[in-house]
A and B are shown apart, each in its own frame.
Chain A
Amino acid sequence: MDKSTLLLLAVVLAVFGGSVAAGHPAWGTFTGIAIILLAAGLAAGTLPLKSQDYFDERIGPTQRISSSLITLSSAAIVAIYAAGYHRTSSAAHKFDSQTPQARGSTTVATVTPPPPPSPATKPGSSGPPAPASKKNNSRPATPRKGAPKKSGDSATSSAPSPASDKAAPDATATPAAAAKAAYKDGVYLGWGSCRHGDIEASVTIQDGKIASAVISQCLTRYSCNWIAPKPPAGALPDLPAQVVERQSAKVDYVSGATESSYAFADAVIAALAKATE
């Protein structure tokens, strides 16, 4: 018999006792008080039981610590989410106003061609497939709605501060003179490559500035092996889009060490080189 049933029984008996008390004062009062005491005792007895369960569940020597870190992380996410856009976006504007040059002008000089990003990167990484097929495959660049300017900034901006000039490698493929040259308006495509695949960036130039830089295509070259006990499962669509059709993919996503997107920088640089030709 569980506790709630006992409680219910006690309440019913108490009501019964009350009605008896109304008819036969002496007996009724006695039984009534006895039953009410019983009910109170049951109720009082169940409460500590409950809280005892609660403590048993929550305070184990190991559980308490784990829940504290899980709780802390969850609380942090909620707190930041609750702080919301208004504060975050105003903070972003604050930075914008603090560094108008940094965000306003994007020049080639700050977009320096990187050294090979990973050991396995092929040489000549910036233009893998044939130009003709690129044209066929390419989608027109569609600047993101709402924040086209921001996306352009965020994709390629960097502060042209003395520090960055100093830090830029001297042996850049882009002539320093190009820093001053305005880009020609239009949409330019460029390829970048890493060992997991190739990425095409579509850079839109408006009024001589980068209006947006988006990934327009990507090719990943994950093989289809998977050496666990099960028969070979599918290809792994991992990088930007799920490149391989879903039917052939038994895995939705792949978790792995963070892959860097230097390939995207390479692709943007390749596209910008065309914009200055």
Chain B
Amino acid sequence: MHSPMPSSQLWPKPRNNGILRTEALMGTFVSIHVVCEGGDRGRAMREQAVERAFNWFRRVEECCTRFEPSSELMQLTAQVGVPARVSPLLYEAVQFALAVAEESGGAFDPTVGYAMESRGFNREYRSGKVIENSLDSSRSVNYRDICLDPEAKTITLLRPLILDLGAVAKGLAVDLAARELRRFKDFAVNAGGDLYLGGCNPEGEPWSIGIRHPRNDGDLIDCLRISDRAVCTSGDYERRTSNEQGHHILNPRTSSSADEVASVTVIAPNAMLADALATAAFVLGPAGGMELFDRMGVEGLMVTPELECHATRGLSEYR
């Protein structure tokens, strides 16, 4: 255990007059760091941009949460068999999720929502509120039970199902925040380990990113230098179910936790893609995952429970 540190250490002043803010959002901690050079000139502008970036997180959460019956996502799930007109945000998120499902042969599947709930992933992170949905669970669903109409921008659910955009929404929020901050060049968005790194760190070097060791808490298994890229990691070591028997990444084909891999890290142009591909690769296992990375043109690192590391060839460029 630790003892309380002096307050100056608790809140170190970022160098170069930077802005660093953290909030509890989307079930995790989101921190945004904008590196500023020079004095106060433009600081107000940066602070406003940081506020707008956080607002994107709130907006995405509001839209895509499974924990609020009034969210657009849950309102969509209430309408089965009829085309529902949805916001651009939800439409694009679902469209992308379905595209990844298609590319990964169903290893990534946004319709695992009900299986998640029935396995105990049903507690809202801020209020502790437990949600319950009564669905006819006897029928299995998959991503093909969702139809999109690109012209009318409508989504039709062919069967009762619960969409889980968890693996897409957080990455999307990171990307929208990053886009809001893009003009400042040097910044970092960290949503509980899902990262987008713009430009350089306060020392003027590419951001140095540690990859968490999947078994030794507090250790790193690799260290990468990242600039203008997103890094996302999926692991089996967070968010265990309440019955302690599984983690939060379900194999859509078996509705049980995937177990060939302990940790998957993906480097991609945006966090939405990185997050989704990390989740898909987790389910596919090392061989299928590496093949997926090569085919998608992204870099990845997969660690098995025995701590074997599989990395794409291009990953060494980031070391």
- A binding-site residues for B, Cβ under 8 Å: 62-63, 65-67, 69-70, 72-74, 76-81, 83, 85, 87-89, 91-92, 95, 98-99, 102, 110-115, 118-120, 128-130, 133-134, 136-137, 139, 144-147, 150-151, 154-159, 161, 163-164, 166-169, 195-196, 214-215, 217-219, 221-223, 225-228, 230, 233, 236, 238-246, 250-262, 264-265, 268-269
Q: In this complex, what residue of A is CB-closest to B166?
A: A258
Is A156 in contact with B63, judged by CB distance below 8 angstroms?
A: no
Query: Which residues on the A side are within 8 Å of B69 (C-beta)?
Result: 159, 161, 163
Indicate whether B92 reaches chain A with its CB closer than 8 angstroms: yes
Is B269 in contact with A70, judged by CB distance below 8 angstroms?
A: yes
A113, A147, A155: the one contacting B128 at CB < 8 Å is A113
A63, A70, A78, A226: the one contacting B223 at CB < 8 Å is A226
Is A81 in contact with B179, judged by CB distance below 8 angstroms?
A: yes
Query: Which residues on the B side are within 8 Å of A118 (C-beta)?
Result: 238-240
Compute the total of residue contacts between A and B using a CB distance below 8 Å. Answer: 319
* Chain B contacts with A in 200-221, Cβ cutoff 8 A: 201-202, 207-213, 216-221
Is B9 in contact with A244, judged by CB distance below 8 angstroms?
A: yes
Indicate whether B164 reaches chain A with its CB closer than 8 angstroms: no
Using a Cβ–Cβ cut-off of 8 Å, how many residues does chain B contribute to the interface with A?
111
- The smallest beta-carbon distance between A177 and chain B, in angstroms, is 19
Is B210 in contact with A242, judged by CB distance below 8 angstroms?
A: no
- One digit per residue, 1 when the CB lies within 8 angstroms of any chain A CB and 0 when it does not, for chain B 239-273 equals 11010100000000000000000010100111011
Alpha-carbon separation in the docked complex, A45 to B306 (Å):
58
Indicate whether B77 reaches chain A with its CB closer than 8 angstroms: no
Query: Which residues on the A side are within 8 Å of B63 (C-beta)?
Result: 91
- The smallest beta-carbon distance between A227 and chain B, in angstroms, is 5
Q: In this complex, what residue of B is CB-closest to A83?
A: B88
Stretch at the interface among B19-27, B137-145, B154-162: B19-27
Q: In this complex, what residue of B is CB-closest to A103?
A: B70
Query: Which residues on the B side are within 8 Å of A217 (C-beta)?
Result: 7, 10-11
- One digit per residue, 1 when the CB lies within 8 angstroms of any chain A CB and 0 when it does not, for chain B 182-211 equals 000000101111110100011000011111
Can you name 19 extra interface pairs (CB under 8 A) apart from A69-B296, A72-B96, A262-B128?
A70-B273, A77-B176, A83-B88, A95-B71, A98-B70, A113-B128, A114-B128, A147-B55, A156-B126, A157-B127, A169-B130, A227-B213, A233-B220, A238-B190, A244-B12, A253-B188, A257-B212, A257-B263, A259-B29
